[in-house]
């Protein structure tokens, strides 16, 4: 049972709503795993009576992403969610269907500590369908650990509407001065200024996606020179309420800022 030329390690076992064992872990094509993290995430569901594999999946099949699974939660008929880390030292959360199809996968990392090793060890679903996670971050194996708590919505967003950015990585600590919106509240014209820090690696193009607080998308625009740029947004067509501006570059969600239209 398994994949040809791959070893497999089961990291977590849960039970589906049908009573079948659901296993998640990693597969590896290297003989020295787990000392080497060159592995792909996997799911396996077994029939509770026969022990036969009902379905299996790996993320990704090409073994391009590597990591370790620390926790998984079965969400009834809605599938499952797992958390862990990848070899880029980013923490990762993967949301999958009840047959192992990936809904979304997002990595989370800190900008200020580019060498930090980020782990997410535990994930629980909240009453509103989102997720609460706990983990640690540290500069090296010998560096004292710092605990951190992560609160996400059902799409893996820190702020509503990030699913429209199709980001694969989220920065957790972009300085407040890097994105400035004024005036806030706004009546007609909102001035947006980007001043991205030098340590942030980006091609320069930044996309802004504006959503309502309920997550509905209302506007999208590109900053041609995103590292240091200004833009005027006409909000006359916006209904009064709270909005979120999400800023993404190279599939990385740089940050999100709320503003109020009166």
pLDDT on residue 64: 47
Whole-angstrom distance between the N-terminal and C-terminal Cα of the chain? 61
> Would residue 54 be called left, alpha or beta, if left means φ above 0 and alpha means ψ between -120 and 50 degrees?
alpha
Mean pLDDT, contiguous 10-residue spans, the chain (262 residues): 63 92 80 54 91 85 63 93 84 92 90 80 96 86 80 96 92 90 96 88 84 96 82 94 95 94 96
pLDDT on residue 160: 95
DSSP code at position 186 = B
Cis peptide bond N-terminal to 60, omega within 30: yes
Contact 99, 82 (CB under 8 A): no
Task: Give Cα separations from 205 to 57, 119, 172, 176, 219 (angstroms).
Answer: 35, 29, 20, 19, 17
pLDDT on residue 4: 58
| Cα–Cα distance for residue pair 81/93, rounded to 1 Å | 7
pLDDT on residue 14: 93
| Cα–Cα distance for residue pair 140/1, rounded to 1 Å | 37
DSSP code at position 79 = -
The DSSP secondary structure of 1-58, one letter per residue, reads ---TT-EEEEEEEEE-TTS-EEEEEEEESSTTTTTS--EEEEEEEE-TTT--EEEEEE
| Cα–Cα distance for residue pair 195/177, rounded to 1 Å | 7
| 20, β-bridge pairs | none
Handedness of CA 74, 40, 148, 146 (dihedral sign): positive
Cα three-residue angle 138-70-66, rounded to 5 degrees: 80
- Domains of the chain, with CATH numbers? 7-156 (2.120.10.30), 176-261 (2.60.40.3080)
| Cα–Cα distance for residue pair 84/25, rounded to 1 Å | 10
């Amino acid at each position: 049972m398994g994949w040809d030329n791959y070893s497999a390690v089961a990291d977590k076992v849960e039970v589906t709503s049908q009573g079948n064992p659901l296993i998640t872990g990693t597969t590896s094509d290297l003989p020295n795993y787990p000392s080497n993290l060159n592995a792909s995430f996997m799911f396996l569901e077994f029939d509770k009576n026969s022990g036969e594999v009902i379905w299996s999946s790996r993320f990704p099949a090409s073994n391009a992403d590597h990591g370790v699974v620390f926790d998984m939660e079965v969400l009834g008929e809605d599938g499952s969610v797992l958390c862990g880390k990848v070899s880029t030292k980013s923490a990762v959360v993967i949301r999958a269907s009840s047959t192992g199809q990936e809904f979304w996968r997002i990595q989370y990392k800190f900008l200020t500590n580019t060498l930090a090793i980020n782990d997410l060890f535990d994930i629980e679903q909240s009453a509103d369908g989102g997720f609460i996670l706990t983990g640690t971050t540290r500069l090296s194996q010998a560096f004292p650990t710092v605990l951190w708590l992560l609160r996400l919505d059902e799409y893996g967003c820190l702020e509503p509407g990030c699913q429209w950015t199709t980001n694969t990585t989220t920065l957790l600590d972009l300085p407040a001065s890097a994105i400035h919106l004024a005036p806030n509240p706004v009546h007609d014209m909102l001035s947006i200024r980007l001043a991205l820090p030098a340590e942030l690696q980006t091609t320069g193009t930044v996309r802004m996606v504006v959503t309502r607080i309920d997550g509905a998308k209302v506007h999208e625009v590109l900053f041609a020179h995103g590292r240091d740029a200004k833009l005027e947004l006409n909000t006359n067509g916006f209904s009064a309420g709270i909005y979120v501006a999400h800023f993404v570059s190279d599939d990385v969600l740089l940050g999100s800022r709320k503003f109020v239209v009166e």
